[in-house]
């Protein structure tokens, strides 16, 4: 009754919390097409935090694909390169057979094909790709988050790990793991020995995620994204559109920054974007009509 938590019967050491995590893991595999063999771990933080945990935990070095390091559209791939550099684990393509890459670069709406690095061990940033795009076949480790396509509050990282990765990719020890929120081995160790997380998890987000996944239909979700993209493509000139997938990227000269913000778009000097998983259908149709009216007047 007089423990550290305001709700004493529900904390990350309780059975209720364990059942909650087990439910979410099962639902991710059943509703989002995650292959059953993956171990799933939950970290509190952003997608970048989760990717840093993965890279810090690597037992070996890796390379990443950057079509053009100066191209600001590939900022998430560049972020992976920065993390590999921070932990002195960056090698060239010819020196490593482990690739760390971003499956869907939202900066240019570019999808990287699953077989682009055939033969190399893949560690994949699926933060803005999942579950519209499936987990790449053969990925050893992948990372996504609660706050994008899965439709819950941000703050929860989901890390999927092929059991084989523990033998050849991730730093492990038969001794007590080094104490760090970025040490993936600690998460596995606590789960295997205690069915717990080593640190306090984002319990309210896990609850919301479970509720959302119970109602989630992957086929319906993908169909909605495809329909919305086609509707936007009927209004915005094709010459202004870039890329494919669940984020519509177009040249910002079509809109002023004030107009883009009024429509609820993401806006920068290089681009404006519509994240097709966001908003209700009613809100999307209203935005689309406003957009159509503006372009007709011009």
CATH number of 218-297: 3.90.1150
Asked whether the beta carbons of 126 and 34 are under 8 A apart, the reply is: no
Take residue 153 and report the two structure tokens written for it.
Answer: 């509050």
Domain ranges of the chain: 15-214, 218-297
Backbone dihedral angles phi then psi of residue 121, each to the nearest 5 degrees:
-70, 130
Asked whether the beta carbons of 197 and 67 are under 8 A apart, the reply is: no
Cα torsion for 59, 117, 157, 249, to the nearest 10°? 150
- 144-155 burial, b for 16+ CB within 10 Å, e for fewer? bbbbbbbbbeeb
Asked whether the beta carbons of 163 and 39 are under 8 A apart, the reply is: yes
Domain 15-214 CATH class label: alpha beta
3-state secondary structure the chain: CCCCCCCCCCCCCCHHHHHHHHHHHHHHHHHCCCCCCCEEEEEECCHHHHHHHHHHHECCCEECCCCCCCCHHHHHHHHHHHHHHHCCCECCCCCCCEEEEECEECCCCEECCCCCCCCCEEEEECCCCCCCCCCCCCEEEEEEECCCCCCCCCCEEEEEECCCHHHHCECCCCCCCCCCCCCHHHHHHHHHHHCCCCCCCCHHHHHHHHHHHHCCCHHHHHHHHHHHHHHHHCCCCHHHEECCCCEEEECHHHCCHHHHHHHCCEECCCCEEEECCCCCHHHHHHHHHHHHHHHHHC
pLDDT tens, per residue, the chain with 298 residues:
444 444 444 666 677 888 999 999 999 999 999 999 999 999 999 999 999 999 999 888 888 876 565 677 788 989 999 999 999 888 887 777 788 999 999 988 999 887 666 667 889 999 999 999 999 988 999 999 999 999 999 999 999 999 999 887 777 665 556 788 899 999 998 889 988 888 888 889 999 999 999 999 999 999 999 999 999 999 888 888 888 999 999 877 777 788 888 877 888 877 888 999 999 999 999 888 888 887 766 6
Domains 15-214 and 218-297 in one fold: no
Distance CA 86, CA 80 (A): 10
């Amino acid at each position: 009754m007089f423990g550290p938590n305001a709700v004493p019967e529900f904390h990350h050491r309780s059975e209720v919390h364990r059942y909650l995590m087990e439910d979410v893991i099962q639902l991710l595999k059943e509703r989002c097409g995650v292959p059953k063999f993956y171990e799933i771990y939950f970290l509190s933080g952003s997608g970048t935090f989760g990717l840093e945990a993965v890279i810090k935990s690597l037992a070996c070095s890796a390379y990443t694909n950057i079509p053009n390091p100066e191209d600001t559209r590939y900022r998430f791939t560049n972020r992976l390169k920065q993390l590999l550099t921070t932990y002195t684990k960056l090698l060239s393509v010819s020196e490593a057979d482990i690739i760390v890459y971003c499956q869907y670069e939202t900066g240019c709406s570019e999808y990287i094909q699953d077989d682009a690095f055939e033969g190399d061990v893949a560690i994949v940033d699926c933060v803005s790709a999942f579950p519209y795009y499936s987990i790449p076949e053969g990925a050893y480790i992948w990372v996504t988050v609660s706050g994008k396509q899965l439709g819950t509050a941000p703050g929860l990282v989901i890390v999927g790990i092929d059991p084989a990765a523990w033998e050849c990719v991730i730093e492990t020890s038969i001794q007590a793991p080094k104490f760090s929120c970025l040490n993936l081995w600690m998460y596995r160790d606590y789960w295997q020995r205690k069915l717990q997380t080593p640190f306090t998890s984002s319990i309210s987000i896990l609850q919301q995620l479970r509720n959302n996944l119970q109602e989630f239909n992957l086929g319906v979700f993908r169909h909605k994204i495809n329909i919305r993209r086609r509707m936007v493509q009927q209004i915005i000139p094709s010459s202004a559109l870039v890329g494919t997938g669940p984020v519509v990227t177009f040249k910002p000269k079509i809109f002023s920054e004030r107009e883009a913000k009024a429509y609820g778009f993401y806006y920068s000097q290089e681009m404006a974007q519509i994240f097709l998983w966001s908003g209700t259908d009613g809100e999307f149709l209203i935005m689309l009509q406003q957009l159509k009216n503006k372009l007709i007047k011009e």
